[in-house]
Structure 1
């Protein structure tokens, strides 16, 4: 089908606008919805006109309005939303926090679980071993011994404070079991705190 026949099929002239071509195609397809052959001829004419106009545009023989975009034109980027900055933490906290791998959480967890069981029978010995384990786990991350000792002491203080409060609360409420003496509760809570310190601090 030559170019002139394509325009005639759609009832248009070469001066017809892009919108005219689209409207003519849609209108004719609607009119002959049951005639498959006629629809194929309309589609072929429409495609031929578009291809011809694209070729002329690429050769610079016709000017296309700026609002019409072709596939070879790069789309204008959409304005991006300003990224919301992540919540900022103080520098000292960032340097203190650690993002451990799985093994760096599991091994201390296993160690302190064993120490918790030992703490049911001999809380003092278990706490002494827990202090040593905490210093070891912290020191192997950054190789800063005195910093590890300081963090361990902080963990002990926090653990004792929370543990004693919890033990007193259990005693006051009457929810005390035979094994849950004040020493045992304090030791178990302290082990949990030491595990958190050794796993998530550095």
Structure 2
């Protein structure tokens, strides 16, 4: 590198006025207001013109470095170069780009109607209230179950299932009349029927088959008797 590589760019500019050596800008063939791109292009052009002369290329490289140092010092001192000012002016005078068209607004989707929750009331599983029925709620189950009990005792054994079904229906109707609710009436009637059949089955296991009962009863009839009695008690007492 020659002396131009280590010289101060401001000194080179002063020598441009009255010195004997050309300034870095003169070596590159540019003005002090040239942009950075112009400095780059001038350097490449000068190097291409010099061919294989290493000393001449070194002077061009030194001039390029001096120009860069000059620009760096100006920035550190808060100075704005004329190239930057001209670039800002060109940017300000450039016509503004057209605003990109906005997308058309899509139509809003219709809102779905709010669906109300189905009114479902859980059945009341609390313990029943016991009270003796009066009036029609007392005589209806008494007459119905008495007739069904007589049918069970004096009819063939094959009618035991039908008698139990009818007795359960009588209990359901009477309980529904008393408390005004069908589901609890059905639930208690089925529960009483199940307990009665269970008690009748235990009675068949405990009774001696040789023990005379006074009536020629078949096992299905004996098993159905507790169920009918429990259904009658439930129809009279469950309120």
Rg larger for: 2
Query: Could you state the TM-score of these two structures normalised by the residue count of structure 2?
Result: 0.42
